[in-house]
Amino acid sequence: MKYTKEHEWLRVEGDLVVVGITEHAATQLGDVVFVELPETETQVAEGDEVCVIESVKAASDILAPIDGEVVAVNAKLVDNPGLVNEDPTGAAWFFKLKVDDLSVLDQFMDEDEYQDLIG
């Protein structure tokens, strides 16, 4: 698993990159009550706002960590936004990106580096 400084996790699954938010981010957000997902088959560029998460406290965006094509979204989050708090690094993935070259992930933090960031 790789981590961004925006508190997203990235996991490789075959030739796809699965994206979610870290437990730290979920805790900071508080109880999530609304999730808006991107359309599938859309091209996104690094830094694009692709998802909206609303917690009891505030609205925040999930940014595309890398360029790619959204090939799948986790529709379960729309019906059950609380999943983001229950299982942020497992069942509550947000979207899957198809990328040209998986080596773009090398630039991101590993677990230890991320723990240092939030520690």
- The site for another protein (CB under 8 A) is made up of 30-31, 33-34, 36, 52, 54, 56-59, 78, 81
- For 41: left if phi > 0, alpha if psi spans -120 to 50, otherwise beta; the answer is left
DSSP code for 6:
T
Taking the least distance from each CB to another protein, the nearer of 85 and 89 is 85
In the complex, the smallest distance separating the C-beta of residue 52 from another protein, rounded to whole angstroms, is 7
In the complex, the smallest distance separating the C-beta of residue 23 from another protein, rounded to whole angstroms, is 14
Please state, as a whole number, how many other Cβ atoms lie within 10 Å of the Cβ of residue 74.
Answer: 20
- Paired tokens of 4: 């961004």
At 37, give phi and psi (nearest 5°).
-105, 160
In the complex, the smallest distance separating the C-beta of residue 35 from another protein, rounded to whole angstroms, is 9
Taking the least distance from each CB to another protein, the nearer of 6 and 36 is 36
DSSP code for 37:
P
Taking the least distance from each CB to another protein, the nearer of 17 and 29 is 29
